[in-house]
Structure 1
Amino acid sequence: MSSSAKPVMACRVCGGAFGAVFCDLGVQPVANSYVPPDRAEAPEPRFPLRCVVCKECRLVQLDTVVDAEGIFSDYAYFSSASASWLDHAARFSREMIGRLGLGPSSFVVEVASNDGYLLRNFVAAGIPCLGVEPAANVAEVARRNGVPTETFFLGEATAKNLVARRGHADLVAANNVFAHVPGINDFTAGLAALAGPRGVVSIEQPHLVRMVDGVQFDTIYHEHYAYWSLLAMEVVLARHGLRVFDVERLPTHGGSVRVLSSAADRGASPALAELRAEEAARGLAGDAFYEGFDARVRDTLSGFRDWLGAARKAGRRIGAYGAAAKGNTFLNAAGVTAADIVAVADRSPAKQGRLLPGSHIPVVTPDALLAMPLDDVLILPWNIADEVAAQLRAGGFRGRILIAVPAMKEIA
Structure 2
Amino acid sequence: MSQIQACRLCGSAVSGTALSLGDQPISNRLPLQGDGDGTAPVYPLNIVVCTSCGLPQLEHNLAAEEHFHDDYTYVSGASSTWVEHCRDYAGQLVRDFGLGPGDLVVEAGSNDGTLLRFFAEAGVRVLGVEPSGNVAEIARASGIPTLTAFFNEETARNIVESQGRPKLFIGNNVLAHVPDTDGFLQAARDLITHDGALCFEFPHFTRILTHRYFDTIYHEHYCYLGVGPLSAWAKTHGMVVADVQPQSTHGGSLRLFLEKQGRPVGEAAQGRIDRYLAEESELAGAAPWQQLEHWLGDWRSRFRGTVSELRSAGKTVAAYAAASKATVLSNYLGLTANDVEWCCDASPLKQGRLIPGANIPIVVPATLRDDPPDAIIAFAWNIFDEIADVVAANVVQETLLIRPLPEIETRTVGGGAQ
Distance in structure 1 (CA, Å) of the matches to 2:372 and 2:276: 48
The one-letter code sitting in structure 1 at the alignment partner of 2:61 is: V
Q: Deviations over 1:118-158 (max 9, x none)?
A: 11112212211101111111100000001111111111222
Alpha-carbon contact 1:319-1:377 (below 8 Å) kept? yes
The one-letter code sitting in structure 2 at the alignment partner of 1:325 is: S
The structure-2 alpha-carbon separation of the partners of 1:383 and 1:339, relative to structure 1 and needing over 3 Å to count, comes to same
* Structure 2 match to 1:125: 122
Alpha-carbon contact 2:129-2:148 (below 8 Å) kept? yes
The structure-2 alpha-carbon separation of the partners of 1:323 and 1:42, relative to structure 1 and needing over 3 Å to count, comes to closer
Q: Does 1:279 align with 2:277?
A: yes
Distance in structure 1 (CA, Å) of the matches to 2:152 and 2:369: 44
Within 5 Å, which residues of 2 pair with 1:350-389? 350-389=349-388
Correspondent of 2:88 among 87, 91, 109: 91
Distance in structure 2 (CA, Å) of the matches to 1:86 and 1:272: 30
Alpha-carbon contact 2:325-2:380 (below 8 Å) kept? yes
Distance in structure 1 (CA, Å) of the matches to 2:373 and 2:244: 44
Correspondent of 2:22 among 6, 19, 26: 26
Distance in structure 2 (CA, Å) of the matches to 1:9 and 1:35: 32
Alpha-carbon contact 1:345-1:363 (below 8 Å) kept? yes
3-state SS of 1:342 partner = coil
Q: Deviations over 1:34-61 (max 9, x none)?
A: 0112334154211000111111111110
How many Å apart are 1:239 and its aligned residue?
3.9
Distance in structure 2 (CA, Å) of the matches to 1:248 and 1:277: 11
Alpha-carbon contact 2:39-2:356 (below 8 Å) kept? no
Alpha-carbon contact 1:249-1:255 (below 8 Å) kept? yes
Alpha-carbon contact 2:211-2:406 (below 8 Å) kept? yes
* Structure 2 match to 1:62: 58
Which range is displaced more, 263-272 or 371-380?
A: 263-272
* Structure 2 match to 1:134: 131
* Structure 1 match to 2:107: 110
Distance in structure 2 (CA, Å) of the matches to 1:105 and 1:22: 48
Q: TM-score, normalised by structure 1?
A: 0.95
The one-letter code sitting in structure 2 at the alignment partner of 1:185 is: D
The structure-2 alpha-carbon separation of the partners of 1:407 and 1:71, relative to structure 1 and needing over 3 Å to count, comes to same
Alpha-carbon contact 2:105-2:167 (below 8 Å) kept? yes
Structure 1: runs of 5 or more not aligned: none
Distance in structure 2 (CA, Å) of the matches to 1:234 and 1:159: 23
Distance in structure 1 (CA, Å) of the matches to 2:56 and 2:219: 13
Q: Deviations over 1:21-40 (max 9, x none)?
A: 33211001100110112334
Within 5 Å, which residues of 2 pair with 1:1-400? 5-41=1-37, 43-74=39-70, 75-269=72-266, 270-281=268-279, 282-286=281-285, 288-397=287-396, 398-400=398-400
The structure-2 alpha-carbon separation of the partners of 1:254 and 1:126, relative to structure 1 and needing over 3 Å to count, comes to same
Alpha-carbon contact 1:304-1:407 (below 8 Å) kept? no
The one-letter code sitting in structure 1 at the alignment partner of 2:351 is: Q
How many Å apart are 1:15 and its aligned residue?
2.0
Alpha-carbon contact 2:105-2:125 (below 8 Å) kept? yes
* Structure 1 match to 2:415: none
The structure-2 alpha-carbon separation of the partners of 1:339 and 1:289, relative to structure 1 and needing over 3 Å to count, comes to closer
How many Å apart are 1:290 and its aligned residue?
4.0
Q: Deviations over 1:218-272 (max 9, x none)?
A: 1110001110111112223444322111110000000000001111433223244
Distance in structure 2 (CA, Å) of the matches to 1:239 and 1:73: 33
Alpha-carbon contact 1:22-1:293 (below 8 Å) kept? no
Alpha-carbon contact 1:60-1:228 (below 8 Å) kept? yes
Distance in structure 2 (CA, Å) of the matches to 1:42 and 1:224: 24
3-state SS of 1:227 partner = coil
Distance in structure 2 (CA, Å) of the matches to 1:336 and 1:287: 28
Q: TM-score, normalised by structure 2?
A: 0.94
Alpha-carbon contact 1:22-1:60 (below 8 Å) kept? no
Alpha-carbon contact 1:319-1:369 (below 8 Å) kept? no
The structure-2 alpha-carbon separation of the partners of 1:287 and 1:325, relative to structure 1 and needing over 3 Å to count, comes to closer
Q: Does 1:410 align with 2:406?
A: no
Distance in structure 2 (CA, Å) of the matches to 1:402 and 1:391: 14
The one-letter code sitting in structure 1 at the alignment partner of 2:5 is: M
Alpha-carbon contact 1:231-1:276 (below 8 Å) kept? no
How many Å apart are 1:274 and its aligned residue?
3.2
The structure-2 alpha-carbon separation of the partners of 1:381 and 1:154, relative to structure 1 and needing over 3 Å to count, comes to same
Which range is displaced more, 268-277 or 237-246?
A: 268-277
Which range is displaced more, 39-48 or 388-397?
A: 39-48
Q: Deviations over 1:318-361 (max 9, x none)?
A: 00000000111010001111000000000000110011100000
Percent identity of equivalent pairs: 38
Distance in structure 2 (CA, Å) of the matches to 1:361 and 1:43: 12
